[in-house]
Structure 1
Amino acid sequence: MTNRIALVLGLFLIAAAVIDIVLFGDRHMIFLGKKLFALIDWVAFWR
């Protein structure tokens, strides 16, 4: 992955998060954060 692709992908993810927060509030991000930590814990268990 080149630096340019990584930068564009990162900016896209940040923009998507900002749009989600503006349109729907921060409750979705809190829910997704909790689920992400559960997924990381589950993947670490199977490693």
Structure 2
Amino acid sequence: MTNRIAISLGVFLIAAAVIDIAMFGDLHMIFLGKKLFALIDWIAFWR
């Protein structure tokens, strides 16, 4: 992955998160954050 692709992907993800928070509030992000930590914990268990 080149730097240009990585930067554009990062900008896209940040923009998507900002639009989601602006339209629907921050409850979705809190829910997804909790699920992400649960997934990381589950993956670490199987490692």
State TM-score, norm by structure 2: 0.98
> Percent same amino acid at aligned positions?
85
Q: CA RMSD in A?
A: 0.3
Name the structure, 1 or 2, with higher relative contact order (CA <8 Å, separation 6+).
Answer: 1
Instruction: Identify unmatched segments of 5+ residues in structure 2.
Output: none
4+ long deviations beyond 2 Å: none
**1:22-41 equivalence runs, <5 A:** 22-41=22-41
Instruction: Identify unmatched segments of 5+ residues in structure 1.
Output: none
Aligned length: 47
